């Protein structure tokens, strides 16, 4: 029985001693340091309950192979067959009627303020607070095929952020197509989902693949989707937080630097501005963080997932981040967490 939502996975991590709560105050900008210490020790995920915002922040969910096996409800003997069977047997998503949990609270218009959510600055020289554990849901504007992928977002203001989508990743390709067709790109950033959806993001598949069907296969049950409020995108009904946005391809800002998984900062560069059109969330949502920086961090732990049994995943690119972004390497830029 796959996890129905993020919270069920957190419960299982807690039961296995793989998630601890910190109730004393921890400033958002100290979260990166705490996570680094947890990663070094192969330690548990951490829930920062007292982070200066109204919402808890949990980070480190994908940091070890043990947690990945819990996510897949598998062990070393069963993971090989489970992943291959899932990849071979996609299951189409289903659609939820009205009243999806992710829309228990709806924030629109002037009330939108992304800064109310716990978004840390992870490394000292980052360009600002970054949403690092968000998953973008976008559509190919020509074929309508949905894609899900991890993309980082730099908070600029109450309802604006910027991001970096490599042109060879599907969200980047969808943006390029929109630009050619003269369409304003609309998408959603989802935070706090069934972990199999997060692992599905890393599977490299043809652009014609419906990622929801892929996630369904790996879960062994369909993903239940619901319609966004301000864009024609469907998102998992039980997501903790959904940030709906549109991209202004004509306005750019300096995005970066960001301490990356290589251990170096990527240089700031001009990137599009995205405007948040709605934020919807569950009651008492749990926000998710993810430290990216000097290895070992979560960004590379999905490659750890396949390290013990290299043959367990059909494609060598599966279950690992594939970004080929170039990184700046001046000595002054080495101090990521
Ligand atoms: C935590 C995390 C953050 C990532 N951030 C970015 C990003 O900001 N930009 C990007 O182009 N790729 C990023 N990647 C890599 C892509 O998410 C990954 O290659 C994915 O397979 C792309 O999927 P897609 O081509 O289906 O959209 C990230 C990966 C991880 C694990």
Atom of ligand 1 nearest to the CA of 136: 27
Domain annotation covers residue 301: yes
Q: Candidates 162, 169, 315: which one to mutate for ligand 1, based on the most atoms within 8 Å of Cβ?
A: 169
In the prediction, which pLDDT does 307 show? Answer: 43
Pairing between strand 57-59 and 45-48?
antiparallel
- Tell me how far apart the alpha carbons of residues 254 and 241 are, in angstroms, rounded to a whole number: 26
Helical (H) or strand (E) element with 234: strand 234-236
- Tell me how far apart the alpha carbons of residues 158 and 223 are, in angstroms, rounded to a whole number: 31
CA 176 to ligand 1 centroid distance, Å: 16
pTM above 0.85, yes or no: yes
Cβ 61 under 6 angstroms from ligand 1: no
Containing structural domain, residue 146: 6-333
Domain annotation covers residue 196: yes
Judged by average pLDDT, the poorest of 64-78, 160-174, 316-330 is 316-330
Q: What are the backbone dihedrals phi and psi of residue 15, each rounded to the nearest 5 degrees, phi first?
A: -60, -30
CA 149 to ligand 1 centroid distance, Å: 6
End-to-end CA distance of the chain: 37
Cβ 209 under 6 angstroms from ligand 1: no
Q: What is the CA radius of gyration of the chain?
A: 18
β-sheet bridge partners, residue 20: 46
pLDDT digit string, tens, across residues 284-298: 999 999 998 887 777
Look at ligand 1, atom 1, and give the residue with the nearest C-alpha. 299
pLDDT (average), residues 103-121: 98
Query: Total domain count for the chain?
Result: 1
- Tell me how far apart the alpha carbons of residues 301 and 307 are, in angstroms, rounded to a whole number: 10
Q: At what angle do helices 79-88 and 211-219 cross, to 10 degrees?
A: 140
In the prediction, which pLDDT does 98 show? Answer: 77
CA 110 to ligand 1 centroid distance, Å: 31
Is pLDDT above 80 for 51? Answer: yes
Domain with residue 242: its CATH number is 2.30.110.10
3-class SS of residue 166: coil
In the prediction, which pLDDT does 297 show? Answer: 78
Is pLDDT above 60 for 330? Answer: no
pLDDT (average), residues 161-166: 97
Comparing 301 with 294, the larger pLDDT belongs to 294
Cβ 202 under 6 angstroms from ligand 1: yes
Atom of ligand 1 nearest to the CA of 171: 27
Comparing 30 with 337, the larger pLDDT belongs to 30
pLDDT digit string, tens, across residues 249-259: 999 999 999 99
Is pLDDT above 50 for 206? Answer: yes
Domain annotation covers residue 1: no
- Tell me how far apart the alpha carbons of residues 172 and 165 are, in angstroms, rounded to a whole number: 5
Contact status, residue 223 vs residue 236, Cβ threshold 8 Å: yes
Query: How sure is the predictor about 322, in pLDDT bands with cuts at 50, 70 and 90?
Result: very low
- Sign, Cα dihedral of 102, 105, 110, 111: negative
pLDDT (average), residues 323-334: 36
In the prediction, which pLDDT does 97 show? Answer: 76
pLDDT (average), residues 262-270: 94
Q: What's the maximum distance between 2 C-alpha atoms anywhere in the chain?
A: 54
The token pair that represents 93 in the structure block:
């998503």
Q: What are the backbone dihedrals phi and psi of residue 137, each rounded to the nearest 5 degrees, phi first?
A: -110, 115
Is pLDDT above 50 for 261? Answer: yes
Cβ 321 under 6 angstroms from ligand 1: yes
């Amino acid at each position: 029985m796959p996890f129905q939502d993020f919270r069920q996975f957190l419960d299982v991590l807690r039961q296995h001693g793989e998630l601890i709560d910190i109730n004393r105050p921890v400033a958002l900008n100290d979260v990166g340091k705490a996570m680094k210490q947890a990663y070094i020790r192969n330690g548990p995920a951490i829930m920062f309950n007292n982070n200066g915002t109204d919402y808890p922040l949990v980070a480190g969910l994908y940091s070890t192979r043990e947690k990945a096996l819990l996510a897949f409800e598998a062990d070393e003997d069963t993971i090989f067959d489970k992943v291959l069977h899932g990849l071979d047997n996609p299951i189409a998503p289903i659609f939820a009627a009205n009243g999806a949990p992710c829309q228990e609270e709806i924030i629109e218009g002037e009330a939108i303020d992304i800064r109310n959510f716990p978004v840390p600055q992870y490394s000292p020289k980052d360009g600002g607070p970054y949403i690092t554990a968000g998953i973008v849901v976008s559509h190919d504007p020509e074929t309508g095929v949905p894609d899900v992928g991890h993309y980082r977002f730099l908070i600029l203001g109450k309802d604006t952020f910027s991001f970096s989508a490599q042109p060879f990743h599907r969200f980047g390709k969808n943006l390029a197509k929109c630009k050619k067709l003269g369409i304003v790109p609309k998408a959603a950033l989802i935070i706090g989902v069934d972990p199999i959806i997060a692992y599905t993001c890393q599977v490299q598949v043809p652009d014609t693949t419906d990622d929801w069907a892929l996630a369904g296969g790996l879960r062994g049950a369909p993903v239940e989707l619901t319609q966004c409020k301000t864009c024609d995108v469907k998102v998992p009904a039980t997501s903790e937080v959904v940030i709906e946005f549109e991209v202004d391809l004509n306005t750019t800002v300096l995005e970066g630097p960001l301490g990356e998984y290589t251990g170096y900062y990527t240089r700031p560069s001009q990137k599009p501005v995205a405007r948040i059109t709605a934020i919807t969330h569950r009651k008492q949502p749990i926000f998710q963080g993810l430290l990216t920086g000097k290895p070992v961090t979560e960004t590379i732990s999905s490659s750890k997932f396949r390290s013990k049994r290299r043959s367990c995943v059909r494609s060598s690119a599966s279950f690992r981040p594939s970004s080929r972004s170039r990184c700046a390497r001046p000595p002054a830029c080495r101090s990521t967490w």
